[in-house]
Amino acid sequence: MNIIWSKTINPGDRWSGNICKGRLVKFTALEAGANLAVLMYNFRNLSEHYNMPDTLKAQHTFYLKKGYALMSDCGRAMASIVEDELGWHDSISGYTTRKMTDEKYGLTNYQKDSNNYFKSGQENFINELTKNGMSKRDLMPPINLFSKVEADPAGNLVYHENHCPKEASVTIRTEMDIYLVLSNTPNPLDPKTFYPSVPVRVEILPAAPVDGLDFCVNFMPQTRRAFENTWEYNLLLGI
């Protein structure tokens, strides 16, 4: 299948862009131990966004893998996970802040270190959101692709350091026109005291038309309902 567009997101870097429905977005970890924080918004109405609580609650899950829809706060499937070599992606740990980054990896800043300073997920997201007239108020918990975080019997969150091998990939399919925002910054629960350095390749490809037999559509009744909400939305917009 032809690759429409490709880009490597280097450690600490960020990217955002508009992607129409019916596209595959493939993410590949170019080294072991990647973490790519992901936000998404409805391109046609930026107030509608990926909603972590609704996505997890509606689909009775704690993490994300192939089959799950990435739902908006309006109950629509914004995207779905169609290929996944890891079987677990973190959706609860959030993103790093400036304070957290300084305390964990050492104090750096642009004035002293230029573009080599250690970026935080929060800063990266805000810098990208401002390009679309958005701000800190538009932030929400991201998806942390390639990371596994689970709860132990005592309820403590546990980060799995060896979860993501080199060349592991995950692919989402856009179910509506989205504004995608990416930050290649550490998972907040990653215990390493050195700033992780794992580039991630992003490729966009055409997706085959979705029908009623699609794996993600039929993953569970709640997932199908989210797809139906999106189909109705797209139909009424004529897209």
Instruction: Return the pLDDT at 110.
Output: 87
Instruction: Return the pLDDT at 1.
Output: 65
Average pLDDT of the chain is 96
Give the CA-trace dihedral at 111, 132, 196, 188, to 10 degrees.
110
**pLDDT tens per residue, range 131-156:** 999 999 999 999 999 999 999 999 99
Instruction: Return the pLDDT at 44.
Output: 96
Three-state SS string over the chain comes to CCCCEEEEECCCCEEEEEECCCEEEEEEECCCCCCEEEEEEECCEEEEEECHHHHHHHCCCCCECCCCEEEECCCCEEEEEEEECCCCEECCCCCCCHHHHHHHHCCCCHHHHHHHCCCCHHHHHHHHHHHHCCCHHHCCCCEEECCCEEECCCCCEEECCCCCCCCCEEEEEECCCEEEEEECCCCCCCCCCCCCCCCEEEEEEECCCCCCCCCCCCCCHHHHHHHHHHHHHHHHHCC
Instruction: Spell out, as residue ranges, where the chain has pLDDT lower than 70.
Output: 1
Instruction: Return the pLDDT at 212.
Output: 86
**Percentage of the chain exceeding pLDDT 70:** 100
